[in-house]
A = this chain, B = another copy of it.
Amino acid sequence: MPETAVQLDVETRQRLLNVAAELFAEHGFNHVTIREICQAAGANLAAVNYHFRDKLGLYKEVVQMAADAMNKFKAEILDTVEPQPPEERLRGYIRLTLHRLLDPHQESWMEKLIARETTDPTPAIDLIIEKGIKPTVERNGRMVGELLGTTLDDPRVWQCFLSVQGQCLFYKMSMPVTLRMAPPGFQYTSEVVDALAEHVYQFSLAGIRALAAQPAPPQMGWRS
């Protein structure tokens, strides 16, 4: 059993995964050819088929990476924010999320790929949901629930959370349009993102508080 040979292939395997992640995120599954990936990774054309059976096998593994990264990243944000009081927790969550999403300095292949799968899912979307989204649903809900003064089964919890998350993700997803609508030379600098985050925070906190003052209508929750 020569397991050093595995060492070697791990190298090109990883190289393929890294290159493929960026290319898939940037151009989408169908816009990227195996030949491009292999050339960029300095590997032979047949490498993808050898290591991942086929193009879709490679893609699925890339999505898996993205889901794991997303989970880790969301958990990090929540860890950072959790010791603070509820209001500051929300503010921090929004700020960190937006920076992660919008800062041009951030590696963002993961977000791009997930945005792609969100609006235009492939069979790999289940991976993202199971490993990237569901694990943090509860913690996210608690963050909002505390501000609302209710528990997770209150429908307002996920409605409000979606309103917050929606604003953040919308800025990411509509970036190509926003950049064309904004004045020439506009960029999401750190200061701009900070200001944006502050706006979303103020806006959302007021929204949450307003809804906290109302009775909850009976409605459905989330699958867990």
Copy total for this chain: 2
Check if A182 is an interface residue, CB within 8 A of chain B.
yes
Q: In the complex the two chains form, is A222's CB within 8 Å of B119's CB?
A: no
Q: In the complex the two chains form, is B173's CB within 8 Å of A173's CB?
A: yes
In angstroms, Cα B179 to Cα A190, docked, is 34
CB distance from A106 to the nearest CB of B (A): 18
In angstroms, Cα B211 to Cα A166, docked, is 19
Q: Which of A48-56, A70-78, A155-163 contacts B (4 or more CB under 8 A)?
A: A155-163
Q: In the complex the two chains form, is A203's CB within 8 Å of B160's CB?
A: yes
CB distance from A110 to the nearest CB of B (A): 15
Q: List 24 A-B contacts (CB under 8 A).
A: A28-B120, A115-B119, A118-B174, A119-B119, A119-B173, A119-B176, A121-B177, A125-B177, A129-B180, A137-B181, A156-B199, A159-B199, A162-B171, A163-B167, A163-B203, A166-B170, A169-B174, A170-B173, A181-B222, A183-B223, A202-B210, A203-B204, A203-B207, A203-B208
In angstroms, Cα B203 to Cα A167, docked, is 12
Query: Which chain B residues lie closer than 8 Å to A156 at the CB level?
Result: 199
Check if A89 is an interface residue, CB within 8 A of chain B.
no
Query: Which chain B residues lie closer than 8 Å to A162 at the CB level?
Result: 167, 170-171
Q: A174-B118, A176-B121 are in contact. Are A199 and B211 (CB under 8 A)?
A: yes
Which A residues from 176 to 197 make CB contacts under 8 A with B?
A: 176-177, 180-184, 186, 195-196
